[in-house]
């Protein structure tokens, strides 16, 4: 590939549920761009030649094409713009679109703005809005919301892989406690406490085996990511740019129950895979990203990741789908704390969806921005301490995840 | 001068419009289509922030089209599946075209499925969407009905939540005919008559402990 895709900056608003100080979406977007301009003084809005907007559900804002409000507000009239929507993988898909725009040679400087305003309705109504992305004819009306679908999948996965409730609770503890070092994280801003495995085990039942503290947070938040060609990166932010060396995007069935004998997966991975337990689209998109980036052994070649921990259980399932562990090693992998800050491949040092929050359209961008900060050496500036700084990282993975694993993207980022 | 226009080709319709002869209206008296209505607002003490409350209520028409036989089947107390005449795969939930790429989107045929199923996986929900809160705790299972190649989600009734098991045999139970609406909520699963729960064990006790407060919480809902 002749052209390289680079990330040279980005920022989020504080993620929150309720008042944040950035309560208009266009105001939030403007503040994210301003923070990026402070980090990258050479960047001007005049340099942008494409804007991509990342937003999941217009139900929350009750506004069709809300990106038009933001785009107009940023003073970008005349610039081409469109919105990407792909469930929980909206952010990852927007970056995928931005990267394709750069790779095509048509565009050099692409801004990506993502947001969601999930606090415009009650939590239970919000859950139902999100569940409109499941097949409403078959699943929504039988008590179905995403935590329940994920719980049904995780329950079987945990049995088959001998992973316990306590094992996955350690993931919730890790991410929420990481978020206590991140002033923009919703867990830091609202709950603001360090938790233990016992706290997770004692939290209220959402859907067995998932409890409240195993779940990510419904959020209001906005994010901005600056994607560009290497030429622009070298000119504008030569000391703090990262390259997107690998990317993959894959898809799976909308209904998780349709994965038991699906011929599309049987052809690729043999009969019976993924069943209702494995994230085939994660595995397949990771394989694409690894191949593109020359990753042979992800455990050795990748230093850390920001991955889609919508539930503590799904982070565990993602470890396996990314090839970091197998059925034989997954329990040991979790219990050895390999993904904690003192482990060999820290996951979600920024807090993840469990700690930072999950305003869907902004989520994948948040993961990308945290990964960028780590690789660009900006954690001491952006977090409260060096506790959540990965030491000398060269390579990070970002994972964005939709539906019940219905769309998943993976990106390999490297420092330059 | 008189000009005569001759229609060379009669415009063909894609399909004859359906003649809807069976109509039922069971709208509760408190469901109103108000459209967009502002129903209140609040302003902060320092008058720098404002929230506005917007109510939106809209009727949707879900046109089931080629999937209709499944939903009509529910009204009749039947589980209708589909089957590919080429490769033989069958499905509930239905597919109107085969999923096997070698079958080149072959149109499928309708088959009536037996009213029996088997649990593939399960969960016990203590929280749900707004429309389902009062039914908590809910046992949600993905179960394989008859020869289906896929598992279908629905609620499992008629047993303690902590007794649900993988692979347990189920029967499909429909609501009384006059209560059916042609949606998947017209039926639920129940344990097969011959099935007996296994003795109490630590996992069952754990689930029992987790759902006990849910029963109490639901009693407080208005």
Nearest to A155 among B100, B121, B153 (CB): B121
Residues of B in contact with A210 (CB under 8 A): 123
pLDDT(B3) > 70 = no
Whether B79 is covered by a domain: the verdict is yes
CA distance A35 to chain B (A): 23
Whether A283 is covered by a domain: the verdict is no
Intervals of chain A under pLDDT 50: none
Number of domains chain A is built from: 1
Q: Which domain holds residue A56?
A: 5-120+219-229
Whether B90 is covered by a domain: the verdict is yes
pLDDT at B2: 64
Confidence of residue B6 (pLDDT cuts 50, 70, 90): low
pLDDT at B29: 86
Asked which of A49-58, B54-63, B152-161 is least confident by mean pLDDT, the reply is B54-63
pLDDT at A79: 98
pLDDT(B4) > 70 = no
Confidence of residue B33 (pLDDT cuts 50, 70, 90): confident
| Residue pointed to by tokens 């409240």 | A212
Whether B82 is covered by a domain: the verdict is yes
Q: Name B222's bridge partners.
A: none
Whether A341 is covered by a domain: the verdict is no
Number of domains chain B is built from: 1
Task: Write the DSSP string, B88-119.
Answer: --EESS--SB-S-GGGTTPBPEEEEEPSEEEE
CB contact under 8 A, A156 and B120: yes
Q: Does A79 touch chain B (CB under 8 A)?
A: no
In the 8-state DSSP scheme, what is residue A49?
-
Nearest to B123 among A131, A208, A261 (CB): A208
Measured CA to CA, the distance from residue B79 to residue B81 in angstroms comes to 6
CA distance B129 to chain A (A): 5
Measured CA to CA, the distance from residue A12 to residue A220 in angstroms comes to 11
Q: Does A77 touch chain B (CB under 8 A)?
A: no
pLDDT at A140: 83
Residues of B in contact with A148 (CB under 8 A): 123, 125, 128, 138, 140
pLDDT at B14: 75
CB contact under 8 A, A155 and B135: no
Confidence of residue B17 (pLDDT cuts 50, 70, 90): confident
Who contacts B68 (Cβ-Cβ below 8 Å, separation ≥6)?
A: none
Cα A54 to the center of its chain, rounded Å: 12
Whether A97 is covered by a domain: the verdict is yes
Whether A210 is covered by a domain: the verdict is no
Q: Searching chain A, which residue's CA lies closest to the CA of residue B123?
A: A152
pLDDT at B32: 82
Q: Name A311's bridge partners.
A: A215
Whether B19 is covered by a domain: the verdict is no
Whether B2 is covered by a domain: the verdict is no
Whether A55 is covered by a domain: the verdict is yes
Whether B155 is covered by a domain: the verdict is yes
CA distance A402 to chain B (A): 18
Residues of A in contact with B153 (CB under 8 A): 138-139, 142, 144, 149, 152, 255, 257
The domain that holds A81 is classified in CATH as: 3.40.47.10
Whether B183 is covered by a domain: the verdict is yes
**Which of A148, A168, A209, A220 to mutate to probe the B interface, most B CBs <10 Å?**
A148
Whether B121 is covered by a domain: the verdict is yes
Q: Are A26 and A384 in contact (CB under 8 A)?
A: no
Residues of A in contact with B130 (CB under 8 A): 122, 124-125, 127-128
Neighbours of B134 (CB within 10 A): 11
Work out whether strand A395-402 and strand A220-229 pair parallel, antiparallel, or are unpaired: unpaired
**Which of A152, A216, A254 to mutate to probe the B interface, most B CBs <10 Å?**
A152
Q: Which domain holds residue B72?
A: 65-219
């Amino acid at each position: 590939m002749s052209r390289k895709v680079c990330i040279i900056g980005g920022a989020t608003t504080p993620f929150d549920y309720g008042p944040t100080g950035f309560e208009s979406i266009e105001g939030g977007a403007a503040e994210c761009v301003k923070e990026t301009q402070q980090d990258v003084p050479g960047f001007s809005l005049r340099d942008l030649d494409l804007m991509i907007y990342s937003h999941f559900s217009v139900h929350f804002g009750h506004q069709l094409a809300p990106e038009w409000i933001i785009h107009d507000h940023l003073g970008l009239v005349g610039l081409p713009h469109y919105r990407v929507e792909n469930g929980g993988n909206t952010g990852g898909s927007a970056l995928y679109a931005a990267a394709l725009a750069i790779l095509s040679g048509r565009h050099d400087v692409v801004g990506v703005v993502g947001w969601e305003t999930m606090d415009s309705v009650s939590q239970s109504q919000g859950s139902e809005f999100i569940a409109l992305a499941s097949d409403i004819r078959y699943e929504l009306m039988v008590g179905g919301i995403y935590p329940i679908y994920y719980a049904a999948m995780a329950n079987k996965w945990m049995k088959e892989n001998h992973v316990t409730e306590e094992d996955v609770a350690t993931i919730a503890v890790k991410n929420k406690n990481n978020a206590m070092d991140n002033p923009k994280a919703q867990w830091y801003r609202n709950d603001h406490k360090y938790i233990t495995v016992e706290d997770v085990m004692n939290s209220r039942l959402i859907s067995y085996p998932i409890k409240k503290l195993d779940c990510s947070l419904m959020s209001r938040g906005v994010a901005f990511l600056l994607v560009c060609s290497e030429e622009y990166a070298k000119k504008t932010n030569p000391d703090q740019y990262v390259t997107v060396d690998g990317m993959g995007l894959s898809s799976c069935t909308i209904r998780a129950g349709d994965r038991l004998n699906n011929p599309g997966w049987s052809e690729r991975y043999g009969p019976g895979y993924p069943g209702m337990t494995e994230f085939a689209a994660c595995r397949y998109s990771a394989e694409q990203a690894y191949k593109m980036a020359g990753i042979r052994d992800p455990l050795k070649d990748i230093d850390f990741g920001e991955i889609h921990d919508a539930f503590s259980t799904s982070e565990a399932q993602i470890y396996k789908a990314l090839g970091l562990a197998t059925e034989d090693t997954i329990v040991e992998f979790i219990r050895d704390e390999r993904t904690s800050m003192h482990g060999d491949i820290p996951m979600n040092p920024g807090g993840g969806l469990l700690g930072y929050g999950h305003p869907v359209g902004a989520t994948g961008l948040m993961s990308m921005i945290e990964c960028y900060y780590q690789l660009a050496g900006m954690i001491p500036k952006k977090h409260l301490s060096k506790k959540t700084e990965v030491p000398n990282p060269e390579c990070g993975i970002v994972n964005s995840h939709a539906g019940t694993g219905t769309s998943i993207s993976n990106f390999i980022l490297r420092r330059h | 001068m008189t000009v005569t226009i001759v229609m060379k080709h009669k415009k063909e319709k894609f399909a004859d419009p359906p003649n809807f002869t069976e109509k039922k209206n069971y709208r509760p008296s408190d469901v109103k289509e108000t459209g967009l209505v502002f129903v209140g607002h609040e302003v902060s003490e320092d008058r720098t922030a404002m929230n506005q409350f917007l109510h939106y209520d809209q009727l949707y028409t879900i046109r089931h089209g080629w999937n209709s036989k499944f939903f009509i089947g529910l009204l009749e107390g039947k589980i209708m599946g589909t089957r590919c005449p080429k490769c033989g795969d069958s499905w509930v939930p239905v597919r109107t075209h085969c999923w096997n790429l070698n079958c080149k989107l072959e149109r499928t045929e309708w088959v009536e499925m037996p009213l029996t199923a088997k649990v593939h996986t399960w969960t016990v929900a203590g929280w749900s969407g707004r429309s389902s809160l009062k039914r908590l705790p809910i046992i949600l299972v993905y179960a394989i009905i008859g020869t289906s190649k896929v598992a279908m989600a629905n609620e499992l009734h008629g047993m303690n939540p902590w007794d649900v098991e993988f692979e347990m045999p189920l029967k499909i139970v429909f609501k009384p005919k006059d209560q059916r609406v042609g949606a998947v909520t017209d039926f639920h699963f129940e344990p097969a008559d011959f099935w007996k729960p296994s003795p109490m064990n630590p996992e069952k006790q754990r689930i029992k402990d987790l759902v006990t407060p849910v029963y109490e919480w639901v009693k407080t809902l208005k």
